[in-house]
Amino acid sequence: MSGDVYIFINRPRNRIKLLRWEAGGFVLFYKRLEKGTYELPQFKNGGLSQMIDYGELAMIITGISMKNAKKRRRFLQQNDVEKYR
């Protein structure tokens, strides 16, 4: 009920399932690629699962490579905001 989405990708990395809870029950999204594979993010600490943000999920689904992508800072930290007052 927290809004989390669970992502499952098969071993050949050509199918993805997204599982999400909504008010009426679970919703399952499924996508199969005709060509190519999904690029997985680098796992931290060698685990089999990890948390990703919405932007990373969108990049996986649309086929954008995450290797050279850089996330730019879009806001000031709270302590930085107080310095400029």
How do residues 21-78 score in pLDDT, each as one tens digit?
Answer: 888 899 999 999 999 888 887 777 766 677 888 888 888 888 887 777 777 777 766 6
Of residues 8 and 67, more confidence is placed in: 8
How do residues 31-46 score in pLDDT, each as one tens digit?
Answer: 999 998 888 877 777 6
Helix (H, G, I), strand (E, B), or coil: what is residue 46?
Answer: helix
Query: How many structural domains is the chain composed of?
Result: 1
**Structural domain range at position 52:** 5-83
Give the C-alpha separation, 30 to 7, whole Å: 10
